[in-house]
Amino acid sequence: MRVTLPIFFVLLTTLVSAQVPGEWTWMSGSNSNLSPAGVFGTMGVPAPGNRPPGLYEACEWTDLQGNFWLFGGQSGTGLESALWRYEPSTNLWTWMHGSSTINQSGIYGTIGVPSPLNRPGARGYGALSWVDSNGNLWMFGGVGYGSGPSLGTLGDLWRYNIASNQWTWMSGTSFANGPASYGQQGVPSPSNNPPGRSETAAAWYANNCLWMFGGMDAGSLLMNDLWKYDLSTNEWTWITGTSTSGTLANYGTQGVAAPSNDPGSRQVYAHWKDQSGNLWIFGGETFISQQTYQLGDMWKYEIATNMWTWIDGSIVPEDTGYHGTHCDTSGIAQAPAQTETRSCWTDTCGNFWLYGGALMYAYSNLWCYKPESNEWIFVTGSGALPMLPVYGTQGVSSPANHPGGKTGALPFTDNDGNFWLFGGGNGFAFGDLWRFVPDYSCIGGCRQPDSIPEPTFDSLFIPNVFSPNGNAVNDEFEIIAIGYTNYELTIFDRWGIEVFHSNSSTLHWNGRMNNTGKECTDGTYYYILRVNDQAGLTKRFTGFLTLIR
């Protein structure tokens, strides 16, 4: 069996060099600082010339195969409504869905019913996003366009199915500035409907539920409400906080959970989920006596107890923190108050990272927070000074490279635990994509996994590299598929020649032609995986893998 595969996939992967830990690499996109236009190409077709426009406060996801997705955002000309996919294995962008024209209204269709015609309207300014355990992409709110031409705050919940390339309007109103219904706190109901909101990225997926906190309502007032959307019942529940805006924080005693503790109304971006399933937020922005203030406090919410805890940081707004020197693990460093720090990651050791954000100007600093020791570490950046990007050579890391000061940039994490950063703003919208390999010696050490990790909540894990060298470590290309049936895997070389085929999830490729012939050469291969999910629907996954002996 032969298939025709674009040769540039293989060639492009060879252009990306190995990266030194602790260094930034400009990987893709424009190095213009002046809101570059996008190059859309043909919908559904990856190409080296494709790239999203410069985007500020778009919406991001990382799918179960390790590909990056983004939607919407503010470009140099207006609000976008295109959905993009980036494959780290090929360094290629694909325009997947939506319009290449700005300020488009949404097409909602029937609530709960997917359709190839459905599409969310153009939006940006802090919409929320989640990925569920089945690999679906979810999005709520933002400022943009509903089904009509009016610009406003959105309260609609959308689900995107990657396999079918279809959006489904799941909940909320189809028009901007629509009504809300809190219902009774702690009680789910099909009539519950959270207020539309923007300027928050505090979203978590936990216990088969979508969680979100705070943000700005349609009246430009800030909220402190925590909501849960149960995917099994399609119902919202108002969990904590008030149904009115402008609530001040109640810190209580640092490190002590209490029912009365409350982070207060804020628009908040930096968020994490720890290895115990607790939900965390840091900083953001609040209003006190009609004045705007940035915050530098760290909070933890425990789902089991339904209580907040003030963990770290100053209760004094606008605190400038203390940078100290790079990689100082003495515990004296403290991240400053800041907002619009959407770019945050959790590493393989459970540490929290964040980049950029703003107090009086856009920061260019990378911070690591270690929750087990309640310790901040200043990793890279210029301290308190603003910084323009230093791009260097595309695909080549250097200690001189740096993304520069940014707010509202998008974070991704690849299958190797590296951090990626796209776009953001600093008086204009960036369109650049960066990669950072964490240097764990800088933060006091962290041992990376020696083998393919077992999946946690993910029901499908597809590695992107294996090394059949006979050392009994990662010797086979093994896909872990839990809950799937009718498994069929086919692998092709760069010329489209089939090198392996299997109808069993227990039969893995050992790097030989059909597992018994001659050894296949090192390089990049292409796979097609077909499986049926628990609902009986056929799903097709494709991607690239690297064979290294």
Q: What is the 3-state secondary structure (H, E, C) of 115-169?
A: ECCCECCCEECCCEEEECCCCCEEEECCEEECCCCCEEECCCEEEEECCCCEEEE
Give the Cα separation of 39 and 221 in Å (integer).
37
Sketch out the chain's domains with CATH numbers: 54-180 (2.120.10.80), 460-547 (2.60.40)
Beta bridge partners of 129: 139
User: What confidence tier does 80 reach under pLDDT thresholds 50, 70, 90?
Assistant: very high
The two structure tokens encoding residue 324: 């100290």
This prediction has a pTM of 0.80
pLDDT at 539: 81
Instruction: Quote the percentage of the chain above a pLDDT of 70.
Output: 94
**3-state helix, strand and coil shares in percent for the chain, rounded to the nearest 5:** 0, 40, 60
Q: What H or E segment, with its residue span, contains residue 93?
A: strand 92-97
The average confidence (pLDDT) of the chain is 91
Identify which of 115, 116, 161, 121 has the alpha carbon closest to the alpha carbon of residue 142.
Answer: 121
Which residues have a Cβ under 8 Å from the Cβ of 124 and sit 6 or more positions away? 55, 56, 57, 58, 59, 72, 73, 74, 79, 80, 142, 143, 144
Q: What H or E segment, with its residue span, contains residue 8?
A: helix 8-13
pLDDT at 17: 56
- When mean pLDDT is compared across 128-137, 188-197, 380-389, the lowest value belongs to 380-389
Give the Cα separation of 183 and 242 in Å (integer).
12
The two structure tokens encoding residue 301: 């919410």
Q: What are phi and psi of 412, to 5 degrees?
A: -140, 160
At residue 362, the 3 state secondary structure works out as strand
Q: Which amino acid is at 111?
A: I
Q: Rounded to 5 degrees, what angle do the CA atoms 272, 275, 281 make?
A: 20
Statement: residue 447 has pLDDT above 60: no
**Do 118 and 109 contact (CB within 8 A), yes or no?**
yes
What are 489-504's pLDDT values in tens digits?
999 987 778 999 999 8
What are 522-540's pLDDT values in tens digits?
988 889 998 887 777 778 8
Mean pLDDT score, 47-69: 96
**Do 326 and 307 contact (CB within 8 A), yes or no?**
no
| Distance spanning both ends of the chain, measured CA to CA | 26
Mean pLDDT score, 137-152: 97
Mean pLDDT score, 125-147: 97
Statement: residue 456 has pLDDT above 70: no
Mean pLDDT score, 382-407: 91
